């Protein structure tokens, strides 16, 4: 893979183009794990926008461990994301799980997310590689850095140069106190291996909202280009990942705390 100048991934949003990359300000992506209803997604979008987020995240199609857990509202959630985009001006990042859904999701999403569980779904990688939309590629929970970079190569090789790599925690022997082990060492390591922009997701990385701020700080200190943080208006009632979700008020505080060491805007 290539070395040299860091690449920039520019994403069009209703509020203008936003750049991900080493020479740009840290981009904040925030929102609930799942899109639950119009009120909560629009409310969350407006709140995180006012705190400085540039993108709203929210799952319409959810990769749940149990088939009996909420699977996402699917197509109707895409409409709600479109409404939130319109109401807030934020760009939309949402997950694609199936090659059959890619075009439909690309009509609403500004960035297509490939989740940890699909990092090596090669058919999906080739399909998003053929789209005209940037791709957020999460690290598989048991993927080596080389496997992750090669997965990104699939997207690049298919003709899409706009890939952002997102570390979201890996499986280690100790999962008693955290859901995953957030591997912040990927930041300096990836800098030597790839030109692609880096995002850190301390929400899935820790699984616990009380640990998210410290790891977000750590990611900024280590040089991340972007952060993805789960935010829910009422975490205790969230349909998925409530335990790791910040309230909008806590997110606002966190952004202020991060401002101390964030790259200048
Ligand atoms: C998510 O972003 O809600 C998600 C399911 O993430 P991951 O693929 O990292 O588990
Ligand atoms: Mn989640």
**Distance of alpha carbon 111 from alpha carbon 191, whole angstroms:** 22
Residue 91 counted as domain residue:
yes
pLDDT single digits (tens) 59-69: 999 999 999 99
Residue 40 counted as domain residue:
yes
Residue 49 counted as domain residue:
yes
Residue 15 counted as domain residue:
yes
Mean pLDDT for all residues in the chain = 96
pLDDT single digits (tens) 201-216: 999 999 999 999 999 9
Nearest ligand atom owner, CA of 62: 1
Atom number in ligand 1 closest to CA 118: 8
Structure tokens at 95: 């997950």
Q: Which of 116, 232, 241, 244 to mutate to test the pocket of ligand 1 (most atoms within 8 A of CB)?
A: 116
Residue 264 counted as domain residue:
no
Nearest ligand atom owner, CA of 242: 2
Quote the number of domains for the chain.
1
Confidence tier at 3 by pLDDT (50, 70, 90): low
The residue contributing the CA closest to ligand 1 atom 1 is 33
Residue 3 counted as domain residue:
no
Q: How remote is the CA of residue 204 from the centroid of ligand 2, in Å?
A: 6
Residue 4 counted as domain residue:
no
| pTM score | 0.97
The reported pLDDT for the residue numbered 262 is 54
Q: Which of 77, 168, 242 to mutate to test the pocket of ligand 1 (most atoms within 8 A of CB)?
A: 168
Structure tokens at 141: 């929970």
- Side-chain half-sphere CA neighbours of 151 within 13 A: 27
Atom number in ligand 1 closest to CA 241: 3
3-state SS string over 83-123?
Answer: HHHHHHCCEEEEECCCHHHHHHHHCCCCEEEECHHHCCCHH
List residues near ligand 1 (CB under 6 A). Answer: 33, 59, 63, 115-117, 138, 168, 204
The domain of 238 spans: 9-259
pLDDT single digits (tens) 225-240: 999 999 999 999 999 9
Residue 62 counted as domain residue:
yes
| Interface ipTM above 0.95 | yes
Atom number in ligand 1 closest to CA 139: 9
pLDDT single digits (tens) 22-56: 999 999 999 999 999 999 999 999 999 999 999 99
Write the CATH number for 225: 3.20.20.70
Q: Which of 77, 95, 140 to mutate to test the pocket of ligand 1 (most atoms within 8 A of CB)?
A: 95
The reported pLDDT for the residue numbered 4 is 75
């Amino acid at each position: 893979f290539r070395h040299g100048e860091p690449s920039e991934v520019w994403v069009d949003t209703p509020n203008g183009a936003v750049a991900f990359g080493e020479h740009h300000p840290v981009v904040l992506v925030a929102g609930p794990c799942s899109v639950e209803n119009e009120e909560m997604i629009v409310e969350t979008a407006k709140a995180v926008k006012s705190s400085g987020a540039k993108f709203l995240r929210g799952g319409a199609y959810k990769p749940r461990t149990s088939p009996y857990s909420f699977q996402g509202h699917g197509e109707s959630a895409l409409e709600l994301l479109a409404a939130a985009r319109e109401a807030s001006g934020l760009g939309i990042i949402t997950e694609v799980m199936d090659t059959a859904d890619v075009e439909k999701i690309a009509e609403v999403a500004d960035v297509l997310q490939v989740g940890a569980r699909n990092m090596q779904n090669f058919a999906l990688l080739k399909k998003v590689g053929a789209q005209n939309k940037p791709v957020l590629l999460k690290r598989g929970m048991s993927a080596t850095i080389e496997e992750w970079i090669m997965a990104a190569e699939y997207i690049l090789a298919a003709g899409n140069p706009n890939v952002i790599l997102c570390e979201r925690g890996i499986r280690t022997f100790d999962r008693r106190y955290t859901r995953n082990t957030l591997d912040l060492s990927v930041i300096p390591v990836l800098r030597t291996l790839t030109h692609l922009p880096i995002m850190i997701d301390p929400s899935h990385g820790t699984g616990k909202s009380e640990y998210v701020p410290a790891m977000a700080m750590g990611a900024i200190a280590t040089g991340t280009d972007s952060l993805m943080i789960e935010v829910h208006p009422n975490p205790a009632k969230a349909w998925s990942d409530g335990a790791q979700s910040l309230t909008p008020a806590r997110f606002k505080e966190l952004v202020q705390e991060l401002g101390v060491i964030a790259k200048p805007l």
